[in-house]
Amino acid sequence: MDELSDVIFFATIRELNAKLKSKEFSAEQLVRAFAQRLETLGPRYNALALQLTEPAVRRAREVDKEIKRERFRGPLQGMPFGAKDLLAYPRNPTTWGARPFAGQVFDYTASVIEKLEKTGSVLIGKLAMVELAGGGGYRFAAASMFGPGLNPWDRTRWSGGSSSGSASAVAAGLVPFAIGSETSGSILTPSAFCGVTGLRPTYGLVSRHGAMALSWTLDKLGPMCRSAEDCALVLEHIAGGDSKDPASAGKSFYYTPQFYRKMSDLRIGFAPVDFSEWAQPAARPAFEQALAVVRSTGAQIVEVKLPDLPYGQVISTVISSEGSSVFEQLIATGKVEELADPKQIAGLKAGLEISAKDYLKAMRIRSIVQKELRKMFTGVDVLLSPSRFGPAPKISEPLDQHSSDQPPKDKGLSALIAASNLAGLPALSIPCGFADNLPVAIQLVGLPFSENTLIAVGKEFQNRTDWHRRRPKGS
């Protein structure tokens, strides 16, 4: 097999699909090249949970037969991809990143993988994650049976959690796209830290059948890709109703750029304090420049801030109580002690002590959050804020380490990740520059099922910048 150019490993889905259709290379060649790269470099970033080269090559050969007959299924046909290791794949381990489940094997396929395979996409590997997707809370990046997720831009830095392997693999060019999950920041955070584009869909838009549950009322699955458009192409095929997921919204998603509104018709809300005070000093120039790019699109930029509500406490109560309920047997048998992070062990145990009264109070406040955010969106179409206020921390640093500085009195949109997850809103994280030679990103948040609007803004931003095209040195 001829060696494929390194450029291929950082190409977009549309670019790879065009080359497949023009027969510059075969699906088998593409899959073998990515699979070899994932197998070789995946361990370098602690990103690889399970290599699936043999079944992937068999599927790629089937795709080549289809292409030879000019049976084209769409842009994902022949695309290699990776899946976070909380998604079931039959006859192979699904570890949930945790040693107590190292030998766990399911006899069915997660709906999201099943849907992708129907498009002709090819799963080449399961990707590492924080144990139990962070249930119970964790203090160190090493909270995974695969070790700390290492950032391809600097391996002394964290790749983010809990979809750590998914972000690292896309950033390092080990897969064209990956599937991650988010309960409260687990797609947006690693996407921001690793400089990839990540989409958290509206709650219920993508089936979670076959995915590990952490919080039934918050969990979401979504794509992590090279660009906003790539996220749209993947979402179009993984969205849709599923009777196997009781929380399924029963809605589909169609990527419709031909119907996008003019940027000048869109109202984008932001809080100046997010960019000037909440942002870490090293990241402020990149965030200010990103804001200037958004202004240059002609969109109407208006100042907003979140209502003063206890977003962090509410989402923590919901995740802790639901998560500890999910893992009650793990706790009761004592196998919880096998987890890597002592804080997480203690957190899962403590979650069982949350009273029904406190859980129901949190859910009542959550309904107020949803109502207040709906009010906010009567004045804007999109909310804009930094995805995270600075670059990835060092893997040696405690993740709960707080700055000695006093936080700004004006909270702006600083709690947007918690607030928007509580309300089940979609979000898109897009790279917007660098701080200390590490990627930083902005997030766009919209009303339920407004993914096309977020992608329109993200695509316009990426048409005007090339941050999503940057690649780590040595990759």
CATH number (domain holding residue 189): 3.90.1300.10
List the single range of 139-148, 234-243, 395-404, 455-464 with lowest mean pLDDT: 395-404
Q: Are the CB atoms for 193 and 154 separated by under 8 Å?
A: no
Collapsing DSSP to helix, strand or coil, 381 comes out as coil
* Residue 111: partners with Cβ closer than 8 Å, 6 or more residues away: 207, 208, 209, 210, 242, 244, 245
Give the CB-side neighbour count of residue 385, counting CA atoms within 13 A. Answer: 29
- Average pLDDT in the 289-315 region? 98
Q: What is the total count of domains within the chain?
A: 1
Q: Are the CB atoms for 131 and 188 separated by under 8 Å?
A: no
pLDDT band at 358 (very low <50, low <70, confident <90, very high): very high
Which of 468, 394, 474 is CA-nearest to residue 170? 468
Token pair of 350, please?
Answer: 């403590």
Identify the active-site residue in 26, 159, 162, 166. 162
271: in domain: no
Please say if 420 is a catalytic residue: no
The 8-class DSSP code of residue 186 comes to T
Which of 197, 136, 134 is CA-nearest to residue 163? 134
Query: pLDDT (tens digit, 9 = 90+) per residue, 398-417?
Result: 998 866 578 999 999 999 99
Across all residues in the chain, what is the average pLDDT? 97
Domain that holds residue 64: 6-257
181: in domain: yes
Check residue 404 and give its pLDDT. 53
- Residue 325 is which amino acid? S
299: in domain: no
Identify the active-site residue in 26, 84, 316, 385. 84
Check residue 3 and give its pLDDT. 72
238: in domain: yes
- Average pLDDT in the 250-254 region? 98
User: Residue 2: pLDDT above 60?
Assistant: no
pLDDT band at 1 (very low <50, low <70, confident <90, very high): very low
Residue with tokens 């064209």: 176
Check residue 106 and give its pLDDT. 98
Which of 62, 55, 52 is CA-nearest to residue 120? 62
pLDDT band at 62 (very low <50, low <70, confident <90, very high): very high
333, β-bridge pairs: none
- Average pLDDT in the 297-311 region? 98
Which of 314, 43, 336, 345 is CA-nearest to residue 174? 43
Q: What Å distances lie between residue 110 and 69, 107, 244, 358, CA to CA?
A: 29, 10, 10, 33
Q: Which helix (H) or strand (E) holds 415?
A: none
- Average pLDDT in the 31-60 region? 98
pLDDT band at 174 (very low <50, low <70, confident <90, very high): very high
389: in domain: no
Please say whether the dihedral angle defined by the alpha carbons of residues 179, 180, 182 and 185, taken in this order, is positive or negative. negative
Q: What's the predicted TM-score (pTM) here?
A: 0.98
Torsion-angle region of residue 161: left (phi > 0), alpha (psi -120 to 50) or beta? Answer: beta
What does DSSP say about strands 80-84 and 438-446: parallel, antiparallel, or unpaired?
unpaired
State what percent of residues in the chain have pLDDT above 70. Answer: 99
Query: pLDDT (tens digit, 9 = 90+) per residue, 98-120?
Result: 999 999 999 999 999 999 999 99
* Residue 88: partners with Cβ closer than 8 Å, 6 or more residues away: 94, 106, 108, 109, 110, 113, 210, 211
370: in domain: no
pLDDT band at 474 (very low <50, low <70, confident <90, very high): confident
Between CA 452 and CA 367 the distance in angstroms is 25
Identify the active-site residue in 159, 166, 186, 450. 186
pLDDT band at 134 (very low <50, low <70, confident <90, very high): very high
Residue 431's φ and ψ, nearest 5 degrees, are: -60, 140
Please say if 84 is a catalytic residue: yes
Token pair of 147, please?
Answer: 């070790």
User: Residue 343: pLDDT above 70?
Assistant: yes
270, β-bridge pairs: 303
